Structure 1
Amino acid sequence: MPGSWLVLVLAAVAGFFVGGVNPASIVARLRHGDLRLGSGNPGATNTGRLLGVRWGVLVGVLDVLKGLLPTLLALWWFDRFTAYAVGLACIVGHILSPYLHGRGGKGVATSLGAVTAVLPWFSLVMLGVFGIVVARSRWVAGASVSAALALLLLSVFAPMPAPVLAGRIWGATVALIVIGRHHRNIRVWMATRLR
């Protein structure tokens, strides 16, 4: 119905602008830090690297919440399909922040928040994979890619709540976005393996 589509579009636009709010940049400004240093990425990992672990954790939690809360509200107020749209919009807003002239983070924490809202047990698996890889390798980017691969496999093969096809496409899309945002890390890893 036209009204339903209008709600979906407006909700997704709101999600995009909420997702675009970048806690890393706000914290860096308050702490007089420069996120152009380190990896140059305005996200939780680089914040922790440059400003300290507690600030990185704070940014990570806020990034998770800005994916979780709008998606959860869309699920409660509307339906699962609208929640998928809002969650994806939050992730895209984080990556292409309108407040940072199209720059943004890699979308890992915001993706985790959105997945937790609509596919909570998928997020538990992702966290488990992330934790294991970090513990073994101390490589956050590799752990993020591994968690995204876990999401991709779950989206293709695991049971899904209705609408099943939409959920599978959504989960796979989120996973591929996160993996794509780590293409440089993947290239570096492959280059070191091929030496």
Structure 2
Amino acid sequence: MKIVFLFILAYLLGSLQSGVWLGKIFFNKDIRQFGSGNTGTTNTFRVLGKKPGIAVLFLDILKGTVATSLPIWFGVSINPLWFGVAAILGHTFPIFGHFKGGKAVATSAGMLLAYSPTFFIYSASLFVIFLFLTSMVSLSSMLSAIIITISTIILPLIAPFILAKQDSLLIILAICISTFIIFRHRENIIRIKAGTESLIPFGLYYKKKHNEAQ
């Protein structure tokens, strides 16, 4: 019963829609009605601004971290990644939001933070590098997901100080999550191909497009 309770708790944690609630409470605005209509960090940045976006990013990461830590805190002998998955499902299909949520990138990062802080830093660094190169959150998220998945296999062999061992569950989950992230970004892929994807005011590609427009 304890395991079932913790799984439910992890899902409910993931279901907390910080972007929606923050927008309604402090800005009298439902972010689901603006921008991409997404409830996650990127659309919060787009609709509400920088500070609310940072707050939601922190809270979405925290959801994954707390959920993944639950079995450790409560002495349950089960791979903590399963509880991270429950939080990811909650974020993507939230019971508090009619099962329409975000794309689970930040919550997945929070799961990695609880599982392996060094691998989280490595993964976050990949995202920042791709973001600097592409100026697109969507493309950076997809590229990072692919490289992170490959890294779960090869890093324990070549850089165990980053990821100590191969974990078959981590590898399987990385494949599933990266596939899911790409699937959830299918509309972004269409816009990227058409050259109409939104850019953030940061990075080399943004600078290039900004210079071309002048």
1:190 correspondence with 2:193: yes
* Letter aligned with residue 93 of structure 1: G
- Could you say which structure has the larger radius of gyration? 2
* Displacement after TM superposition at 1:21 (Å): 0.5
* Letter aligned with residue 128 of structure 1: S
Question: Quick one: distance in 1 between partners of 2:148 and 2:77?
Answer: 18
* Letter aligned with residue 19 of structure 2: A
Normalised by the length of structure 1, the TM-score is 0.86
1:136 correspondence with 2:136: no
Q: Give the secondary structure class of the aligned counterpart of 1:14.
A: helix
The aligned counterpart of 2:179 is 176
Question: Quick one: distance in 2 between partners of 1:116 and 1:23?
Answer: 19
1:27 corresponds, among 22, 34, 40, to 22
* Displacement after TM superposition at 1:33 (Å): 1.5
* Displacement after TM superposition at 1:80 (Å): 6.9
* Displacement after TM superposition at 1:59 (Å): 0.6
Question: Quick one: distance in 1 between partners of 2:126 and 2:115?
Answer: 19
Structure 1 residues 76 and 34 mapped into 2: Cα distance closer, same or farther (>3 Å)? closer
The aligned counterpart of 2:202 is none
Question: Quick one: distance in 1 between partners of 2:48 and 2:77?
Answer: 38
Q: Map 1:84-99 onto structure 2 (within 5 A).
A: 84-99=81-96
* Letter aligned with residue 188 of structure 2: N
1:56 corresponds, among 26, 30, 53, to 53
* Displacement after TM superposition at 1:9 (Å): 3.1
The aligned counterpart of 2:208 is none
* Letter aligned with residue 38 of structure 2: N
Q: Give the secondary structure class of the aligned counterpart of 1:158.
A: helix
Question: Quick one: distance in 1 between partners of 2:59 and 2:114?
Answer: 15
The aligned counterpart of 1:122 is 119
* Letter aligned with residue 168 of structure 1: I
Question: Quick one: distance in 2 between partners of 1:44 and 1:126?
Answer: 17
Identical amino acids, percent of aligned pairs: 29
Question: How large is the RMSD of aligned CA atoms in angstroms?
Answer: 2.2
Is the CA contact 2:15–2:91 (under 8 Å) kept in the aligned structure 1?
A: yes
Stretch moving more, 94-103 or 126-135: 126-135
Q: Give the secondary structure class of the aligned counterpart of 2:80.
A: helix
Question: Quick one: distance in 2 between partners of 1:100 and 1:56?
Answer: 19
Q: Which runs of no fewer than 5 residues in structure 2 stay unpaired?
A: 157-162, 196-214
Deviation per residue, 1:18-57 (Å, 9 max, x gap):
1001100101111112312111101111111111110011
Q: How many residues get paired? A: 188
* Letter aligned with residue 106 of structure 2: A
* Letter aligned with residue 107 of structure 1: A
Normalised by the length of structure 2, the TM-score is 0.79
Q: Which runs of no fewer than 5 residues in structure 1 stay unpaired?
A: 1-5
Structure 1 residues 108 and 191 mapped into 2: Cα distance closer, same or farther (>3 Å)? same
The aligned counterpart of 2:3 is 8
